[in-house]
Each structure stands twice: as structure tokens, then as C-alpha cells.
Amino acid sequence: MKIVRTIGGMKAAVRLAKKEGRTIGFVPTMGFLHEGHLSLVRACRESADVSVVSIFVNPLQFGPKEDFKEYPRDLERDRRLLEREGVDFVFQPEASEIYPAGYRTTVEVEGLQDVLCGRSRPGHFKGVATVVLKLFHIVEPNVAFFGQKDAQQAVILRKMVEDLNLDLELRVLPIVRESDGLAMSSRNVYLGKDERRAALILFHSLAEAQRMYRQGERRTGVIVARLKEMIAGEPLAREDYVEIVDCRDLSSLDLIDRDVLVALAVFIGRTRLIDNTILTSGKNPSSYMKGGTESGSPSKLNLRGAEDEKNPS
């Protein structure tokens, strides 16, 4: 496994691999890796000849009052994990390599960037889209992997790929959870013991949404109200938002008449956690996240909901 720190070095490695007719798979991360990241890495290894994982805590996607400085980092451990997975290249640039003095260009995916997490994190998705577009230009992947954990990010990046005619396939894989249901996240390390227990309110709320939907509830207002009530009942939790939106364009709905995303953001103490699930009729499952064509392995996208996501296939 090679560690590459410069854009020039990464471009040269990619150029060589492509000249040899090999395909490139790419997993962008901010490091402090867990099984969620590693599920993407494994899919990447299976799908492409050469695997590239980037580790870059992107300053542009953090607000001034957010946790850029504290964001957990453990590069030694990350490298060991990636080496064990058989990754070919780790791209690990300094911030000054990606944003040299005088840097001015950004990418905005209008509309989609302003809803859900965009409301409480203004500028976040501009930072994400900008860095991912830059990374795509540097790594030139044939296929890139993202997690449904960050569903809004996936929708935004898919739109960017479409709108800017990028020649790559974007694949989105299911949320990997701890054995009790908590979605894995690098930020879970911030949680104290009581907070860790309280954080299960996200998973339990999503499971409740699935249950209500299975029992025939189709009014988004009724489901959202129940989830808000559950979150309010957990003393260590403070809701940021609970919303049910169209899976493709993130627009709000009164009635569930298509595949929808139930998305939440909840503060547990000072830690803001996000989670989501998809409510689907199952008759005509949406392929909005999976990417590529419907012919991909069905196990690659879990459309079954929070309870089943506990043990993703």
C-alpha cells in the first residue's frame, strides 16, 4: 500500500494504472475509520482493479463553531486497517495541498444543499461538493463509493455528477450499525457512557417510523410528530430536525406515495448525530441511491429499513 501526499503523485499513479488498462475505485473519507468505511473499501476492492482511499479532514465543510479541530484522527490505525484490506493507495494530502493560498473556486448544488442538514450547517455541502469534485479530478475514479449514512450528501453528489457530466459511477452502500443499532460514526467517540445509551433514540425512532409505515400510516405529519415526541422523551437528546422527504429531490411531502427518506439529526449532549432510513413499498424499489443500473447486486443497497439495517447483508 502506498501513501501519497501530493496531487502530482496521485495523478501520476492513476495515469500509470489507466495506461495499463486498469479501473480505479475510490472511497473518500475523513479518516478515523470504522466498519462503515471498511464496507465501502471492501466493495471498492471487489469492483475495481486499483483501490484508492482518501483521508482528508476537509476544513471547507466545517462551520466556524464546528468540530474541525477536535475531529478525531488516528492516521496510524487508519493505515493499518487499510493495509489489512489490501488497499493500493491512500491519498492523504495536507489542507494546503488541496487549498493553496489564494484558492477561490467552489461548487454549489443549489436547492439540495439548503434543506435538512444544510439548514443548521450553512456552507457544509458547498464544502463537501467542492472537495469531492477536486478529489474526483485528482483520482479520476471509474467508480466511487459513499454511505447512505450521509444520504443528503449522496443525493447532492449524484446530482453534481449528473449536472457536470462526470464520467464515473457513484455507488451508495447501506448504513453499517453497531450491534444495538447505533449507526457507526467517527463522532460516536465523543459520547460519554450515558450519552451512548441515549444515542439509541435515533435508531429506535427510525424503527418506529418503519413500524408505523408497515402498519399502513402514510401521513408524514403523523409519523414525524411521533418521532419528535420520542426524541423529546429522551432527556439527553435535543432534536435538530426530523423530516420525511422524497428520496431523489429531498422535497417535503404530506403523504407517502413513493420511496421516501426519513432523516434525523439529534444532538446528544454536544454531539450532533444523523441517521436515516428509507420507507419503500418494495414493489418498485427506488434506485436513486444505488447508482449505475438496476442490475447491481441488490444487497448493495438496503431498502428495508432501520431494523434490518442492523445486520446489512
Residues annotated catalytic, as ranges: 37
Q: How many residues bind ligand AMP (CB under 6 A)?
A: 17
| CB 2 to ligand AMP: min, Å | 20
Which of 150, 234, 243, 259 binds ligand AMP (CB under 6 A)? It is 150
Q: Which is nearer to ligand AMP, 185 or 205 (CB)?
A: 185
d(C-alpha 296, C-alpha 293), whole Å: 6
| CB 54 to ligand AMP: min, Å | 9
> Does the footprint of ligand AMP cover residue 131 (CB under 6 A)?
no
> Does the footprint of ligand AMP cover residue 176 (CB under 6 A)?
yes
Candidates 97-105, 111-119, 169-177, 292-300; binding stretch for ligand AMP (CB under 6 A): 169-177
Which of 93, 147, 181, 305 binds ligand AMP (CB under 6 A)? It is 147
Each residue 38-67 as x (binds ligand AMP by CB under 6 A) or -, in order, gives -xx---------------------------
**Closest residue to bound ligand AMP by CB:** 147
Residue 155: CA count within 13 A, CB half-sphere: 24
> Grid coordinates standing for 111?
436547492
Each residue 5-34 as x (binds ligand AMP by CB under 6 A) or -, in order, gives ------------------------xx----
> Angle 212-218-221 (CA atoms, 0-180°, nearest 5)?
90
Q: Where are the alpha helices (DSSP H) in the chain?
A: 7-19, 35-47, 75-84, 95-98, 117-120, 124-139, 151-163, 193-198, 200-214, 220-232, 306-309
Site for ligand AMP in 181-210 (CB under 6 A): 183-186
> Grid coordinates standing for 112?
439540495
Per-residue DSSP letter, 269:
T
φ/ψ (deg, to 5) at 130:
-65, -50
d(C-alpha 139, C-alpha 272), whole Å: 31
Which of 149, 158, 159, 300 binds ligand AMP (CB under 6 A)? It is 149
Sign of CA pseudo-dihedral 78, 80, 82, 87: positive
The residues that touch ligand AMP, with contacts defined as CB under 6 A, are: 29-30, 36-37, 39-40, 146-147, 149-150, 173, 175-176, 183-186
